[in-house]
Structure 1
Amino acid sequence: MNVRAARAEDVPELAAIAERSYRAAFAGILEADLLESRNAAFFAGRFAASWERMLVAFSNDEPVGFLLMTRDHIDMLFMDPAASGKGGGAVLLKRAEALGVRSLECFRDNWGARRFYERHGWLADREYEREFAGRNRSFVLCVKR
């Protein structure tokens, strides 16, 4: 598994990965209409202004996941569901940690993500609610100590 900084030309493929991953990860957490609205076009628009803060994981020269960060915080870490469990997320996380990332937020009930982060030494610091997509949702802030 290789990791490199994202390039502008990666955006369409990363947006497609984000759509697939988002729908798989949040199917039991978010409403169906919200999941439908988070399609590749939605993510491509978001990534157009943020691709320079992304790392991309590759397997056999094909992108299989990405991590988006802001300073020392992970905004997103998504793996293509077909590549999940094959080490790409761990490689992305390790690279981000080396760059100084120390916090991330995930849905409180996203147990798969929480277990993944815990296995890699991240600890739940606090739980809270905040507005997300028009509703109050439960989140957890995780930190790397």
Structure 2
Amino acid sequence: MKVRRAMPEDVSALAAIAEASYRTAFSSILEEEVLSSRNAAFFTRRFEASWARMLVVCAGGIPAGFLLMTDGHIDMLFMDPAGSRKGGGSCLLHEAERCGAKSLECFRDNIAARRFYERHGWHPNREYEREFAGRSRSFVFYVKD
């Protein structure tokens, strides 16, 4: 798998990956109305202003996942559920670290993601509650030394 910078023409493919991954990763954490509102159109609007801060991992030239980073903080790391567990997430995370990633946050109950980050040397710094999608949710803030 190869990691590259996102390009404007990637936005719709990345939005589709985000929609599928969001539903897969958060189906046991978020309510159906929240999941259905985070559709490809929602992510397309979000990514139109942020594609320049995104990394894309490709398999055979086709986007398989992406990472969005702001000022050393990983905002999102999503893989296409059909292509996950093939090393793409690790490639993205390593490239983000090379580019200065130092922090991220994760839903406390997203055990698979937490295991992934901890396997890659990220350490929980603190747990906290904050508002997300109209409700108070539990998060874990991770740091990388």
Equivalent residue for 1:54?
A: 54
* AA matched with 1:97: E
Q: Secondary structure at the match of 2:23?
A: helix
How far the C-alpha of 1:71 sits from its partner, in A, is 1.1
Q: How many residues align?
A: 145
Partner Cα distance (1:72, 1:12) in 2: 25
Partner Cα distance (2:95, 2:144) in 1: 13
How far the C-alpha of 1:60 sits from its partner, in A, is 0.5
Partner Cα distance (1:77, 1:143) in 2: 15
Equivalent residue for 2:102?
A: 102
Q: Secondary structure at the match of 1:140?
A: strand
Partner Cα distance (2:124, 2:80) in 1: 25
Partner Cα distance (1:90, 1:29) in 2: 23
C-alpha distance after superposition, 1:11-49 (max 9, x if no partner): 000000000000000000000111001000000000000
- Structure 1 residue 90 corresponds to structure 2 residue 75: no
Equivalent residue for 1:75?
A: 75
CA RMSD of aligned residues (A): 0.4
C-alpha distance after superposition, 1:65-112 (max 9, x if no partner): 000000110000000001111000000000000011010001000000
Partner Cα distance (1:107, 1:32) in 2: 16
Write out aligned runs for 1:10-49 (5 A): 10-49=10-49
Q: Secondary structure at the match of 2:136?
A: strand
Partner Cα distance (2:133, 2:30) in 1: 9
Partner Cα distance (2:98, 2:41) in 1: 31
Partner Cα distance (2:84, 2:144) in 1: 22
* AA matched with 1:84: S
Structure 1's consecutive aligned runs of 4 or more residues displaced over 4 angstroms after TM superposition are none
- Structure 1 residue 123 corresponds to structure 2 residue 123: yes
TM-score by length of 2: 0.99
TM-score by length of 1: 0.99
* AA matched with 1:130: R
Give the unaligned 5+ runs of structure 1.
none
Percent of residue pairs identical: 68
